[in-house]
Amino acid sequence: MDEENVDDLKLNEEVGRVSVDAILHAAKLVKPGASLLDVAVASEKYLADIGYSPAFPINLSINQRAAHYTPTFEDMTLFGENDVVKVDFGAEKNGILGDGALTVDLSGNHSEMIDAAENALEAAISKVKVGVEVREIGREIERVVSSAGFSPIRNLGGHGIGVNELHEGVFIPNYDNGDTTRLEEGQTVAIEPFVTDGKGMVRDEAVCEIYTFVGHAGVRSPVARNVLAEIEKSYGQNPFAARWLARIAGSKFGLYASMSELVRVGAIEPNPVLIESGNGIVTQAEAELVVEKDGCRILTMVKR
């Protein structure tokens, strides 16, 4: 391995360690009666205080919501004593992105479903090496989840990760989808089993707080122009939360009017909340890793 690759791997490992610390820090804050917004702000500040940025807005997706829920500006939602919370988060440094997740069960009633996600993740990781087909990883996830009496979510899965690119290239399914794409040496990927007692599919909810910059477009509103300039300067291709732009927009109305206009003209892309189609509870486990010849190097692995 040449010196440049060694340095890249060291930075990947550093960002991975920080990401795990940040996820565990956030998970400890998830308690009945705690504010989602307070947890999000504190978790993202935790990274800033130690010299990192969020790779993406922290996801605090509760119960039937599988992914992509981050608090709104002035969000008043509190965690409930029966909530099942997916904490999905990661750090960023010099374009290197961390990604990992765990599930916090405030009810204490869904440990078997959490175990299914975590066991499926471990089984999937055991299959990773150069040349393995992604369908084989999906088959292993489905085997473990089904044997536990639950269903994998079939239209969610893992993904490749590039420099300043959270979802790049390869898709890693949570079931055998027939994809014969093979993993390559040096690829950074995230594997993330989603498990449910519902239908095993998600749909878009009419809620969106996470967006991605697409490019320049004609914008009529001066406020929206200022918001777009800030997005391009501060976030580039990385996902961002609408609430991060409240200061630039100046008001709640200005913020959400700007988001609507920027989506309408194609300057930003919405990443709506994903909710289980059968109203089932969802659990999640996720690890980021680098593919190696005979296995993998784990960058983020978060356990309860």
**What is the number of H-type helices and E-type strands within the chain?**
7, 20
Could you tell me which residues come within 8 angstroms of residue 194 by beta carbon, excluding any fewer than 6 positions away? 66, 67, 117, 152, 153, 156, 174, 202, 282, 283, 284
Q: Among this protein's residues, is 136 annotated catalytic? A: no
The active-site residue out of 13, 14, 25, 167 is: 167
Q: Which two tokens stand for residue 266?
A: 């194609």
The active-site residue out of 8, 83, 92, 99 is: 99
The active-site residue out of 8, 88, 118, 209 is: 88
Which of helix, strand or coil describes residue 269? Answer: strand
The active-site residue out of 83, 192, 261, 276 is: 192
Q: Among this protein's residues, is 99 annotated catalytic? A: yes
Could you tell me which residues come within 8 angstroms of residue 190 by beta carbon, excluding any fewer than 6 positions away? 99, 100, 158, 159, 161, 172, 286, 287, 288, 289
Could you tell me which residues come within 8 angstroms of residue 207 by beta carbon, excluding any fewer than 6 positions away? 69, 272, 273
The active-site residue out of 105, 159, 209, 276 is: 159
Q: Among this protein's residues, is 167 annotated catalytic? A: yes
Catalytic residue ranges: 88, 99, 159, 167, 192, 286
